[in-house]
């Protein structure tokens, strides 16, 4: 049979609930017949049929279906409970996985694959304290700060990990731009980081891929990599510091985006159906690869965001910047603009009713893949 309605299934692990949206633009005609079983979804309309098996480990409770309604311009909405929740998503921070002591590794430019650091072995891989650690020491010590003149610079065999970056001893590696302290890729000129001193280089996690020396480099689509790394940063920091609001700042000191992390327990399943209106666009841009087939499944985090470029939301950005409950995340300015584009594409690909939460007075909601 031909393709009928494309659909979006949002599964919440912790709530053990699911929201099904059958896109109206993909329905050849109405009425439509939507069938839900424990492990499959089926949509029939105008002699066409769309059927998809649920991801492994997911089981719906068809008898719990409720709230069926049609939103003009969107399609059919239906909520239900899970009979069995899917397994938890593996949210281990990629940087900790790729960097291991006593193993040779290679650092690649994520954008073009050029080798940045070759066959480096670290004896120590250590997390850095938060950026305001020195001020905290002054608050807790009843005597002068004993670390006031100390600097946390890595030795040759050290790698220090920050929230969005890692520090290396520069050794014999040199990618410093002659104009300023930016560190750029020799091949594609992408900004990779910056020099902090004569022997210390900061590389941003969104710009470099680290692989063991025995493994070959395999490229990852840019937007997929950026949103995955940013999502992991958000989840890691929200878990470690119980903070859910973040400012995305460029290396020029400007705030580009305000982000509010809503949840990290979402599993998304989407079928594009037959409509040409999507133009191949899914909530994750280029993450929907041809190898995924007609139905894609992703672990995702849901965020609300507000853009701050061109003085938009300046008062709100100033308030967040001075709020100790908001955590700043710093990336290259070009990457901040890429992130804004990814957020916008994700928002416009969702049904309008899933894009906003008025109770938070934030207009833009979207998903990040993990």
Residue 5 clears pLDDT 70, i.e. is over it: no
Answer yes or no: is 278 within a domain. Answer: no
Could you tell me if 228 and 338 are in contact, meaning their C-beta atoms sit under 8 angstroms apart? no
Segment 113-169, tens digit of pLDDT: 999 999 899 999 988 877 666 666 666 777 776 666 666 789 989 999 999 999 999
Answer yes or no: is 53 within a domain. Answer: yes
Domain boundary among 47, 62, 87: 87
If you write DSSP's letter for every residue of 156-209 in order, what string do you get? TTEEEE-SSEEEEE-TT---B-SSSSEEE-TTT--EEEEEEETTEEEEETTTEE
Segment 56-81, tens digit of pLDDT: 888 999 999 998 888 888 888 999 99
Backbone angles phi, psi at 291, to 5 degrees: -65, -15
Residue 48 clears pLDDT 50, i.e. is over it: yes
What is the reported pTM? 0.85
Answer yes or no: is 155 within a domain. Answer: yes
- 228 shares its domain with 206: no
Within 8 A by CB and 6+ apart from 270, the residues are: 6, 7, 8, 9, 282, 283, 288, 295, 296
Residue 23 clears pLDDT 70, i.e. is over it: yes
Answer yes or no: is 122 within a domain. Answer: yes
Segment 243-267, tens digit of pLDDT: 999 999 999 999 999 999 998 889 9
- 74 shares its domain with 101: no
Could you tell me if 167 and 128 are in contact, meaning their C-beta atoms sit under 8 angstroms apart? yes
- 192 shares its domain with 251: no
Structurally, the chain folds into a number of domains equal to 3
Q: Supply the pLDDT for residue 349.
A: 80
User: Tokens in use for 69?
Assistant: 């309604």
Stretch among 107-111, 151-155, 188-192, 334-338 having the lowest mean pLDDT:
151-155
Residue 177 clears pLDDT 60, i.e. is over it: no
Domain boundary among 178, 212, 246: 212
Highest mean pLDDT among 96-110, 141-155, 243-257, 269-283: 243-257
Across the range 306-311, mean pLDDT stands at 92
- 198 shares its domain with 157: yes
Segment 189-237, tens digit of pLDDT: 999 999 988 889 999 999 999 998 988 888 889 998 999 899 999 998 9
How many angstroms separate the CA atoms of 211 and 329, rounded? 24
Q: Which residue has the higher pLDDT, 4 or 319?
A: 319
The mean pLDDT value of the chain amounts to 82
- 246 shares its domain with 312: yes
Stretch among 21-35, 73-87, 270-284 having the lowest mean pLDDT:
270-284
Answer yes or no: is 18 within a domain. Answer: yes
Answer yes or no: is 342 within a domain. Answer: yes
- 361 shares its domain with 235: yes
- 342 shares its domain with 246: yes
- 60 shares its domain with 159: no
Domain boundary among 87, 114, 129: 87
- 155 shares its domain with 32: no
- 31 shares its domain with 149: no
Residue 37 clears pLDDT 70, i.e. is over it: yes
Q: Which domain holds residue 144?
A: 95-212
Answer yes or no: is 326 within a domain. Answer: yes
| pLDDT tier for residue 318 given thresholds of 50, 70 and 90 | very high
How many angstroms separate the CA atoms of 66 and 238, rounded? 33
Torsional sign, CA 60, 62, 63, 69? positive
How many angstroms separate the CA atoms of 97 and 291, rounded? 25
Q: Any idea what the CATH number is for the domain that residue 47 is in?
A: 2.60.40.790
How many angstroms separate the CA atoms of 93 and 200, rounded? 23
Tally of residues, the chain: 370
- 100 shares its domain with 83: no
How many angstroms separate the CA atoms of 273 and 54, rounded? 16
Answer yes or no: is 275 within a domain. Answer: no
How many angstroms separate the CA atoms of 83 and 60, rounded? 5
How many angstroms separate the CA atoms of 120 and 122, rounded? 7
Q: Which residue has the higher pLDDT, 179 or 56?
A: 56
Across the range 342-360, mean pLDDT stands at 79
Q: Supply the pLDDT for residue 317.
A: 94
- 231 shares its domain with 338: yes
């Amino acid at each position: 049979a031909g393709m009928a309605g494309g659909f979006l299934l949002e599964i919440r692990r912790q709530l053990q609930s699911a929201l099904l949206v059958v896109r109206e633009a993909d329905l050849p005609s109405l009425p439509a017949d939507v069938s839900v079983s424990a492990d499959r979804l089926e949509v029939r309309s105008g002699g066409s049929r769309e059927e998809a098996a649920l991801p492994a480990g997911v089981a719906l409770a068809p008898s719990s279906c409720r709230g069926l309604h049609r939103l003009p311009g969107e399609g059919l909405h239906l909520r239900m409970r899970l009979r069995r929740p899917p397994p938890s998503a593996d949210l281990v921070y990629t940087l900790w996985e790729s960097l291991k002591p006593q193993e040779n590794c290679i650092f690649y430019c994520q954008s073009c694959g050029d080798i940045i650091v070759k066959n480096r072995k670290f004896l120590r891989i250590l997390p850095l304290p938060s950026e305001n650690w020195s001020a905290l020491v002054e608050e807790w010590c009843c005597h002068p700060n004993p670390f006031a003149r100390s600097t946390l610079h890595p030795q040759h065999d050290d790698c220090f990990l920050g929230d969005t970056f890692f520090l290396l001893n520069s050794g014999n590696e040199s990618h410093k731009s002659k104009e300023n302290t930016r560190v750029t890729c020799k091949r594609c000129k992408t900004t990779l980081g910056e020099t902090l001193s004569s022997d210390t280089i900061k590389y941003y996690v969104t710009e470099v891929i680290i692989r063991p020396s025995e493994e070959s480099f395999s490229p990852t689509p840019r937007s997929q990599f950026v949103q995955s790394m940013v999502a992991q940063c958000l989840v890691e920091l929200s878990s470690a510091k119980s903070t859910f609001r973040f400012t995305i700042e460029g290396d020029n000191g400007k705030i580009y985006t305000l982000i509010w992390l809503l949840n990290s327990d979402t599993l998304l399943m989407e079928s594009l159906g037959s409509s040409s209106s999507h133009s191949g666009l899914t909530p994750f841009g280029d993450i929907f690869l041809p190898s995924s087939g007609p139905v894609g499944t992703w672990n995702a985090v849901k965020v609300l965001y507000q853009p701050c470029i061109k003085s938009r939301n300046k008062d709100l950005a100033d308030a967040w910047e001075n709020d100790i409950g908001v955590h700043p995340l710093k990336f290259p300015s070009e990457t901040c603009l890429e992130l804004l584009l990814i957020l916008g594409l994700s928002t416009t690909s969702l049904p309008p009713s899933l894009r906003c939460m008025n109770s938070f007075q934030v207009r833009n909601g979207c998903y990040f893949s993990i």
